[in-house]
Amino acid sequence: MASSILVLGAGMVGTCTALHLQERGMDVTLVDRREPGQETSFGNAGLIQREAVEPYAFPRDVGTLMNALWGRGAQVHWHARGLWQMAGALRRYFNHSHPQAHAQVTEAYSRLIAHATHEHEYWMTASGAQALVKRAGFRFVFRTPQALDEGLQRAMRLNDRFGVRYQAESTQQLTQAEPALRTPLAGAVHWLDPWAVSDPGALVQRYADLFVARGGRLLTGDAASLRSQGAGWSVQTSAGRVEAQQAVLALGPWADGTIRTLGYRFPLFIKRGYHQHYRSPVQLRQPVLDAECGYVLAPMQRGLRLTTGAEFAPINAPATPVQLVKAEALARELLDLGDALPEPPWLGARPCTADMLPVMGPAPRHKGLWFNFGHAHQGFTLGPVAGRLLAEMVHGRRTWIDPAPYAPSRFL
Ligand SMILES: Cc1cc2nc3c(=O)[nH]c(=O)nc-3n(C[C@H](O)[C@H](O)[C@H](O)COP(=O)(O)OP(=O)(O)OC[C@H]3O[C@@H](n4cnc5c(N)ncnc54)[C@H](O)[C@@H]3O)c2cc1C
């Protein structure tokens, strides 16, 4: 009989984990309190970020820190209660962001990112989701020559070290490539390898449909009802209590709450982010990061999606879309944004760890329990890679990437 496993959380990470476990012959039940891909994996910028070989570091220069502290600019916003709650994890995040430590973390992170597009390709083909993706890259646009210069130096460094491809664009080349941009910008770094998905939630749904079409069970249930039962695990679902030999927690930004009930205190925190769609009368050809202002504009099926930077606030605190207001004003300088769609801003939370590496591997103190969360700014990118690595560990075979840097036990 096939060995059985529960996967709790049907975001990009959990859904891909379920697919990979199923492909390895396991009897998999995927459980979520909502439909697949309706939370963080729904509202992101839809980028499969092959260029993001460096995880997002805590800024260490005084100017950026002061701007964040005083709420200047659109990049960062905070609630005092959020900073207070996350203070311990943020302090460790600051330390891990020291250039030497960050370089080490980048080695481990880049090994995951290197496989991101290839691993998505596999599931996009299998699920017939090719029409949702455009493979034409992602632009970082710069307003000032000094920032462009720094951006180009970084691109050169990442190209040398990790082979990430890019094209430098002058003001004129950028205007030709993206005629919708009306402000004369200093230029751009056009990353050539990333892909753009026009409906991120729909991509997760396609992957989940494939899982069900291949015989997987998708049920509604609450991870709070997870219990260790005999030699295995069980969870309460719409189809009653379901038991399995093993379980995976893939709860994205909600993982912390669940693992705390199991006795784990990991340095996890969240960076909230917003999006809003606009009926822009002009067309952006590729997604754009306004690099000095910290927001992304991504063409989506619903309209032009503007996504914001980091908000440090408790996960359930009321929405305070201050950054959205600021970013919208900045975006209107770049192009004719048009009217916002008449819908409230979407709010989600990036699931972050203090050392910027995801948590993937066996739960240190619970037999048959596995963790797969903490993919921060690139969980949509990394879902299939994370799913494969976790499934290979569960299967007990040699993994194709060394899982040691991501082991949950590093936080004990
Ligand atoms: C504004 C913004 C822009 C972003 N842009 C990008 C981008 O362009 N590219 C990129 O790669 N990443 C991006 N990210 C990050 C990315 O969206 C996340 O890293 C990723 O979606 C995390 O996936 P996940 O499956 O771990 O979490 P989720 O997608 O949040 O899935 C977790 C699932 O767990 C379920 N769940 C939670 N609690 C329970 C419970 N008690 N019982 C049952 N189910 C439960 C939820 O319903 C949810 O479906 C962005 C994030 C934000 C906020």
**Beta strand extents in 238-373 (DSSP E only):** 240-244, 246-249, 268-279, 288-290, 295-300, 303-307, 310-312, 339-340, 346-353, 359-362, 369-373
Q: Which residues pair with 278 in a beta bridge?
A: 304, 340
Please say whether the beta carbons of 261 and 19 come within 8 A.
no
Out of 8, 15, 44, give the residue to mutate to test ligand 1, the one with the largest number of ligand atoms within 8 Å of its CB.
44
CA of 205 relative to ligand 1 center, distance in Å: 13
d(CA 341, CA 324): 14
- Tell which atom from ligand 1 comes closest to the C-alpha of 41: 21
Positive/negative CA dihedral, 194, 198, 201, 203 = negative
Output the CA 340–ligand 1 centroid distance in Å: 24
Ligand 1 centroid, distance to 88 Cα (angstroms): 23
Residue 362 pLDDT class (50, 70, 90 cuts)? very high
Instruction: Pick the more confident residue, 183 or 157.
Output: 157
Q: Whose CA is nearest to atom 19 of ligand 1?
A: 379
Q: Which two tokens stand for residue 243?
A: 């038991």
- CA–CA separation, 137 and 409 (whole Å): 36
For residue 101, the surrounding DSSP H or E stretch is: helix 99-113
- 198-228 tens-digit pLDDT: 999 999 999 999 999 999 999 999 999 999 9
C-alpha separations of 391 from 49, 154, 248 in Å: 22, 34, 10
- Asked if residue 2 has pLDDT above 90, the reply is no
Q: Per-residue confidence at 37, pLDDT binned at 50, 70, 90? A: very high
CA of 316 to the centre of ligand 1 (A): 15
Q: Copy the structure tokens of residue 317.
A: 């605190």
What's phi and psi for 144, nearest 5 deg? Answer: -120, 150
| Number of alpha carbons in the 13 Å side-chain half-sphere of residue 225 | 16
Which structural domains are found in the chain, ordered by start?
A: 1-52+100-129+196-265+355-412 (3.50.50.60)
Pocket test for ligand 1, best of 19, 41, 42 (most atoms within 8 A of CB): 41
Nearest residue (by CA) to ligand 1, atom 24, is: 252
Q: Is 256 exposed, middle or buried (0-12, 13-18, 19+ CB in 10 A)?
A: buried
**Could you tell me the distance, in angstroms and rounded to a whole number, from the CA of residue 26 to the centre of ligand 1?**
24
pLDDT for 184: 85
Residue 71 pLDDT: 82
Distance CA 113, CA 385 (A): 8
pLDDT at 410: 98
| Ligand 1 center to 237 CA (angstroms) | 21
How many CA atoms does the CB half-sphere of 281 hold within 13 Å?
3
CA-nearest residue, atom 30 of ligand 1: 40
| Structure-token pair, residue 294 | 């910290």
Please, are residues 394 and 278 in contact by the beta-carbon 8 Å criterion? Answer: no
The HSE-up count of residue 228 (CA atoms within 13 Å, CB side) is 10
250-264 pLDDT, tens digit per residue, is: 999 999 999 999 999
Q: Smallest Cα–Cα separation from 127: which of 37, 191, 239? A: 37
**Structure tokens given for 49:** 């970020």
Does residue 1 have a pLDDT over 80? no
Q: Cβ < 6 Å from ligand 1: which residues?
A: 8-14, 32-34, 38-41, 44-47, 49, 222-224, 250-254, 273, 275, 307, 348, 350-351, 373, 375-381
Query: Ligand 1 pocket: which of 297, 377, 406 to mutate (most atoms <8 Å of CB)?
Result: 377
41 CA → ligand 1 middle, Å: 4
Start-end of H helices in 214-291: 255-261
What letter would DSSP give residue 140?
E
Strand, helix or coil for residue 57: coil
Nearest to 105 by CA among 116, 93, 117: 93
Atom number in ligand 1 closest to CA 307: 1
Separation of 49 CA from ligand 1 center, angstroms?
15
Q: Which residues pair with 307 in a beta bridge?
A: 275, 296
Nearest residue (by CA) to ligand 1, atom 18, is 379
Q: Which amino acid, residue 121?
A: E
- Residues 29/4, Cβ–Cβ less than 8 Å: yes
Question: Percent of the chain, pLDDT > 70?
Answer: 100
Handedness of CA 100, 253, 191, 205 (dihedral sign): positive
The rounded mean pLDDT for the chain is: 97
